[in-house]
Amino acid sequence: MLNQNSIKKCLFPAAGYGTRFLPATKAIPKEMLPVLTKPLLQYGVEEAIEAGLDTMAIVTGRGKRAIEDHFDISYELEHQIKGSSKEKMLADIRNVIDHCTFSYTRQIEMKGLGHAILTGQTLIGNQPFAVILADDLCDNTGVSKGVLSQMVKLYEKHQCCIVAIEEVPKEQTNKYGVIAGEEIENNLYRVNDMIEKPDPKDAPSNLAIIGRYILIPEIFDVLQTTQPGKGGEIQITDALLTLAKQGKVLAYKFEGQRFDCGSVEGFVEATNYFYNKEN
């Protein structure tokens, strides 16, 4: 029987078009854009492995074949570079492939993050799971474990939904889901309100949700009946509000640094940061 405390599956919504990176994303999934030599999605998968997860569930769409090929062995390539100095450059991805399994399902229509997560139900089943949005790239150098590790630990204690948050300048609340809540422990809030991308004047706080979630399977039932919200899309923030009203959502101000690699500016910032870290 599955241990109630263990989170083993991680869902990666990866069906979006990545229009902010056109023309780069015309034929390449945005999740495959590299920061230095590693695709964004691989950073996310490595964060999930570090948190003890071993089953990666990826919601893809048309034109995303490169994702499946990346998390697979490339016999010709590996044969070609065997014994050369290049071999070590495949060590990390080989390690990823050896330590977890990957499964895929396709989101046929783009109807929002909530809809993408609901599409992943077929891969997740009836158990708690994590969600990573790969374009939020997180690094925890010098602080503690990875963001997802920190959240899994909290889940083991509290057994409810957890969203990662950070403080943003008030004028940027319209880029994020924003929460309001009561601080019950240091850096941990019991959420009592959340709004998707509010105008700064309507924002309940400056605590913005970033792309790390732990969700309980009840979220799927809620998503089934969640009506389209902001932008005419089914929003995970709206579904979580239903559970928050039942006291089932915590928000955690994580330790570490996060880069918004969904924007060109954030992507460049991440690239510089990781380059300086490695050189």
Contact pick of 129, 203, 237, 249 for ligand G1P (by CB under 6 A) = 237
Place of tokens 């510089």: 272
Contact pick of 40, 124, 132, 133 for ligand G1P (by CB under 6 A) = 133
Q: Which residues contact 76 (CB under 8 A, 6 or more apart)?
A: none
Strand intervals (E) in 36-170? 38-39, 55-60, 101-106, 129-132, 136-139, 161-167
Quick one: tokens of 62? 């048309």
Please tell me whether residue 44 binds ligand G1P under the rule CB under 6 A: no
Quick one: tokens of 254? 């994580």
The DSSP string of 174-185 is: GGSEEEEEEEEE
Nearer to ligand G1P, 100 or 240 (CB): 240
How buried is residue 122: exposed, middle or buried, by Cβ count under 10 Å (0-12/13-18/19+)? Answer: exposed
CB-based contact 21:264 (threshold 8 Å): yes
Contact pick of 152, 210, 244, 251 for ligand G1P (by CB under 6 A) = 210
The CB-of-261 to ligand G1P minimum distance in angstroms stands at 10
Contact pick of 18, 29, 61, 177 for ligand G1P (by CB under 6 A) = 177
Contact pick of 41, 211, 241, 251 for ligand G1P (by CB under 6 A) = 211
The CB-of-234 to ligand G1P minimum distance in angstroms stands at 10
76-95 mask for ligand G1P (x: CB under 6 A)?
--------------------
Element spanning 81, H or E: helix 75-81
Contact pick of 71, 102, 129, 176 for ligand G1P (by CB under 6 A) = 176
Q: Interacting stretch for ligand G1P, rule CB under 6 A, among 36-44, 67-75, 121-129, 206-214?
A: 206-214
DSSP-derived letter for residue 172 is G
Quick one: tokens of 120? 């992943």
Q: Interacting stretch for ligand G1P, rule CB under 6 A, among 4-12, 30-38, 80-88, 209-217?
A: 209-217
| Alpha carbons 203 and 195: distance in angstroms, whole number | 7
| Alpha carbons 27 and 33: distance in angstroms, whole number | 11
First to last CA, the chain: 46
Please tell me whether residue 243 binds ligand G1P under the rule CB under 6 A: no
Restricted to residues 107-126, the positions that interact with ligand G1P (CB under 6 A) are 113
Q: Which residue is nearest to ligand G1P (CB)?
A: 177
Please tell me whether residue 262 binds ligand G1P under the rule CB under 6 A: yes
Q: By the criterion CB under 6 A, which residues form the site for ligand G1P?
A: 113, 133, 136, 176-177, 196, 208-211, 235, 237, 262
